[in-house]
Amino acid sequence: MNTRIGLIQGDITKMQTDAIVNAANSSLMGGGGVDGAIHRAGGPAILEECRMIIARQGSCKTGDAVITTGGMLPARYVIHTVGPVWNGGKKNEDEMLANCYSNSLKLALAHRITTIAFPNISTGIYGYPKREAAKVAVNIVSRFLETDHFLDKVHFVCFDEENHSLYKTLLQL
């Protein structure tokens, strides 16, 4: 058990952390699932910044992460990362998913963020098997925290019971 990792079942838009992470798509123009919930709760400022990012750099690649304001959310920032679409498991999905977590954490550190909340990236519409995704997420975050001493707390926010119970087991809570 790592006291710098927290587990919550609920809605990530309610998190009062410095940043919340969005499971976005490469267009950064919003969508369903957690992406839709974040844009609805955060208001138009987030989409406006996403548009500026796309205008500057083009679409966001799988595994990459970008940062915007949190708009009307309790969180000050939203880190948008593009998870891999599950394609059977032989298309580097695990590496790309790990990149989502590590690139989001690196971006958080660059913005002096000390508390951050992650959803279960790729396990909704993108179809990544939940158990496999949870293993990748817990491993990469645990490894990151071994060498980082700035982040105070990383929360995993699970929307559904299945993910919550998988994380509970993996985190030995």
Chain residues in the site for ligand ADP (CB under 6 A): 11-13, 23, 33-35, 37, 83, 119-126, 157, 159-160, 163
In the complex, least distance from residue 92 CB atom to ligand ADP, rounded to whole angstroms: 16
CA 118, distance to chain mean position in Å, is: 4
Query: Is the backbone of residue 130 left (phi > 0), alpha (psi -120 to 50) or beta?
Result: alpha
Catalytic annotation on 94?
no
Identify the three-state secondary structure at position 4.
Answer: coil
Which among 11, 18, 35, 94 is annotated as catalytic? 35
Please choose, from the candidates 104, 136, 117, 133, the residue with its C-alpha nearest in 3D space to the C-alpha of residue 7: 117
Q: Which residues of 153-168 are buried (b: 16+ CB within 10 A; e: fewer)?
A: ebbbbbbeeebbebbe
For the chain, how many residues are written?
173
18/35 with CB nearer ligand ADP: 35
**Which C-beta is closer to ligand ADP: that of 73 or that of 107?**
73
For ligand ADP, give the closer residue by CB, 9 or 148: 9
CB of 110 to ligand ADP, least distance (A): 23
Beta-ladder partners of 24: 82
Residue 123: Cβ within 10 Å count: 28
User: With respect to ligand ADP, which residue has the nearer C-beta, 125 or 148?
Assistant: 125
Shortest distance, CB of residue 157 to ligand ADP, whole angstroms? 5
Cβ of residue 121: shortest distance to ligand ADP, in angstroms?
Answer: 5
* Kind and range of the H or E run holding 5: strand 5-9
Show which residues are catalytic. 35
